[in-house]
Amino acid sequence: MKDDVIFFGCFRLSVAERLLEQNGSPVKLSGRALDILVALVEHAGEIVDKRDLIAQVWPGVTVEENSLRFHVAALRRALGDGEAGARYLATFPGRGYCFVAPISRSNISRQAAIEIPVRARSGKLPARLTRMIGRADTIQEISKQLNADRFVTIVGPGGIGKTTVAVSLVHSLAEEFEDGIYFLTSGLSTTPGWCLGWSLQHLESWFGPTIQRQVSSRSCNRSEY
């Protein structure tokens, strides 16, 4: 995992650089809090026993559980966990902690040559997640709608590969948009209306306050598969 770059929410975690960024800006974290984050992300979706976590973050050192709780609390504050519906860490009393946000990852040693040109002018696109089979027609249809309308929604049951299609689509279109392509994940949304406001907030940080008026003046079409 040492060469991995992990994306979740508006964050980018480079394990090799020991660097966490939020929308391109470094996030201040203690070394212990960063080690905890790396350990939890490495086992995303799984409960990491507090004893295993202590052993990994403080190898060969006897540490009270209070120290672990202190650094987990600091990590939560840095991530904004629980704010605006965002959830990253879950506590399981008496057991440990779990990283609950959706993630995507790329590997620097395998992907750097093809990802750097895209990242130079895009919002840190995740790597193509999987090899797809039977989605070429879907991607072609959505590409046509994007060229015509710009705002397109991909909908369908959970787990059928909407994100995989979207990521593959933006990689294939990256060279067609001279201002770059920016990737926002709304997988943490639990409140109606949260996604739009959150997205506008990040778009405004990149493009300025006029973006809200431009978005409001556009219609939103939906492509369903």
The pLDDT tens digits for 180-193 are 676 665 554 555 55
Residue 66 has pLDDT above 50, yes or no: yes
Q: Are residues 91 and 152 in the same domain?
A: no
| pLDDT value for 112 | 43
Q: Are residues 156 and 70 in the same domain?
A: no
Mean pLDDT, all residues of the chain? 75
**Could you tell me the pLDDT band of residue 46, with boundaries at 50, 70 and 90?**
very high
Of all helices (H) and strands (E), which one includes residue 65?
A: helix 65-79
Higher pLDDT, 220 or 73: 73
Q: Are residues 35 and 83 in the same domain?
A: yes
Higher pLDDT, 153 or 109: 153
Distance CA 34, CA 109 (A): 22
* Weakest-pLDDT range from 80-94, 109-123, 135-149: 109-123
**What percent of the chain has a predicted confidence (pLDDT) above 90?**
31
* Weakest-pLDDT range from 114-118, 163-167, 215-219: 114-118
Q: Give the other-Cβ count within 10 Å of 118's Cβ.
A: 17
Distance CA 106, CA 198 (A): 25
What's the CATH number where 83 sits?
1.10.10.10
| Structural domain span for residue 172 | 133-224
Strands 47-49 and 25-26, bridge-based pairing: unpaired
DSSP 191: S
Task: Answer whether residue 128 is part of any domain.
Answer: no
